[in-house]
Every structure is written in structure tokens, then in C-alpha cells.
Amino acid sequence: MTRGGLKKDRSDGPERKCIVTGESQPKAGLIRFVVGPDRQVVPDILGKLPGRGMYVAADRVALEVASKGQFSRCAKQAIMVPDGLADEVERQLARRAIDLIAMSRKAGRAVCGFEKVKGWLAGGERVRVLLQASDGSARGKAKLWTPEGARYFDCFTSAELGLAFGRQSVIHGALAAGGLGDRVVEEATKLRGLREVDGGKAATEKDIEAK
């Protein structure tokens, strides 16, 4: 129940509070960290490591703020934060998302290439995710559309999508609806949060500290 007496919507799963912003949101949209045996902060991308979890919004600036002392305050002890923590989290998230896309491909639940993707979109295939490489041609990408109920991501490079689809380079990809597609959405959303730092898309440190 909320303070106003209304029942809180938990349809997106259990919630956790970001240690930086203080805002609660579905756990699936946050990055979990634990303190390792050597008192060093460890990202728990799979959410399975033992220990008390510390959750941070999937945002590069939020991670940088957390690294400046928020982790220690939350853990109530002096802990070490490795250099380049945000970069390591981004690397692990990208690897996880690429692996999930590859699993979708092997299960016959994903296609790549402009014509195949367009065929899925036009042929009534229930598409959950439309993928387009960040370094692909804007003109080519504009010719495809995101169907209702699907999610669009352009936070992967053509080389990363190529790795997922077993090719050297891929610009366009699509994933069918289902469990794997939902898991890709979850991981790609976090990855996009860490990579959207240009053009004022990400929150600034001043914005976060003002909350």
C-alpha cells in the first residue's frame, strides 16, 4: 500500500531503491552490486552472487556518483571501488545481451539482415525486439519500423550484433516474442542506460545530487 492508501502496482516485479537517487523502481531495471571477500565492489549482472545487494540505476553518471562514496555509505564500511567500474559493468551487460541474442538465434527466434527483418515485420511475425546497429546507415534504418508492443534498441554496434548472429557485421536484427526476447529487453535497456551519454540523454551528476 502507498501512503495514500492505494495499492502499489508490482506487475513489473519486486522493487528496490537506488542507493544514489533514493528512488524505488523494479529490480529488473537496476544493477546489483555486492561486496566481495576482499571488500571490493563487485557487479552482479546475473543477480546471483551471495551477500547484501546494493542497487544502482542503470546510468553511467549514477554509477560514477556511487563510486565516490555512496557504496561505502550503503555498506556501512570502507570498501574499495575498482577503477573503470562503469566500463566493466557496460562490458558485462553487452556480453550478457549478446549471449541472449545468440541463444534466440540458435532457437530459431531471431533473424538478421534487412530483407529478413522486413519480412518478419510485414508478415505478421510477433516481433518483440527490433535491433539496429548504432553505426548503421540512418537512411537504411529509417525504412524499418517498430511494431506495436515491440521494443527498439540501437545501442549495439554492427560488430556486436555480428557476434550475436555469428557474422562479421550485422545492421538489422529482430527477435520474436517470448521469454528470451523479454530477457534481451531487460539487459539491453540497462546497456542503453549506460551508453546514452551524448546529446543530453543521460542525467547529469548535478541532476542526481539534487534528488
The DSSP symbol for 18 reads B
Enter the C-alpha cell of residue 95: 556480453
96-134 pLDDT, tens digit per residue, is: 999 999 999 999 999 999 999 999 999 878 999 999 999
Name the helix (H) or strand (E) containing 55.
strand 54-57
The DSSP symbol for 27 reads G
If you count them, how many residues does the chain have? 211
As a whole number of angstroms, the distance between CA 198 and CA 116 comes to 31
Sequential pLDDT tens for the chain (211 residues): 443 444 444 455 789 999 999 999 998 889 999 999 999 999 999 989 999 999 999 999 999 999 999 999 999 999 999 999 999 999 999 999 999 999 999 999 999 999 999 999 998 789 999 999 999 999 999 999 999 999 999 999 999 999 999 999 999 999 999 999 999 999 999 999 999 754 334 444 444 444 4
Strands 127-132 and 172-176: antiparallel
Q: What is the phi/psi pair of residue 56, to 5°? A: -130, 140
Amino acid at 12: D
Cβ(144)–Cβ(117) under 8 Å?
A: yes
pLDDT given for residue 9 in this prediction: 45
